Structure 1
Amino acid sequence: MSKGVELSVIASPIQGLNLVAGFSHNNAEVTEDYPESGYLGMRPESAGPESLVNFWASYNFSAGALQGFGLGFGGNAASEFLTLNRDNIGSFALPAYQVFNASISYTGSQYFLTLKLNNLTNQKYYSGWSTVTPQNLRNVALSLNYRF
């Protein structure tokens, strides 16, 4: 059984400002299974974290001395994730996390240049599905797109 809610918003309330946000919350429980499997009455491992949040806001200057420049800020968050969750062998949880990112960009006549700083707070966090996979600590990415 799975009950939950998922919301997403994409908006451009003023020229140059773009907003993207999402939230999901899912209560899940195995209600039919063989008792010896260990899953009955438990949150399925495949359900993922109970709550997820994401957002990104960017602003692109369209006039004046800063025309062509853009700024962005956003992040992702997840609640604790029971990557192993069985009544007969126990549970193992990946901790909740919040990761924040920022960017600065410039759009020219034939190119788009972006400098992005990921994981601003250098948060140690993990993903996985019956595994534990460390995610990147703070890092910088530079990208260049050229239009022919």
Structure 2
Amino acid sequence: MTLVVGYDGSDGARAAYATALDLAGRLGEGVHIVFSFESPRLGGELHDLDDAIRERGEAVVGEALATAAAAGVVVSSDVRMQDPAAGLIAAADEVSASMIVVGSNGERPLKSVLVGSTPTRLLHLSARPVLVVRAQA
């Protein structure tokens, strides 16, 4: 089995990745890193912006992959242009993940409800267990 971890390079994502590596090592599972972004379609052609976000995703995922060898865990990755919550759920389906691990930067509950957050959406939409890891203070 595999743990899917949402990763964007933020403090919350780093905490989630570290937790996923630790859990995977204990459980004998792999880790699948996913950077998923939704293209901001505000009008006009935004192809260059999509490419820049994809390049950023590949760079931060590459940094995460570089640290995986020390953990002794099999790690794979995926950069996809899809709503983050939907992208994580789809990736989890594709690799038959046992769990989705995501970070949280400690948004206030009202903001999370009004604006929406990936962890909140995953908790409501995912059929798999979701582990939300708080960023270190």
Q: TM-score range by the shorter chain?
A: under 0.3
Q: Give the TM-score of the pair, scaled to structure 2.
A: 0.22
Of structures 1 and 2, the one with the larger relative CO (CA 8 A, separation 6+) is 2
| Greater fraction of residues in helix | 2
Structure having the higher strand fraction is: 1
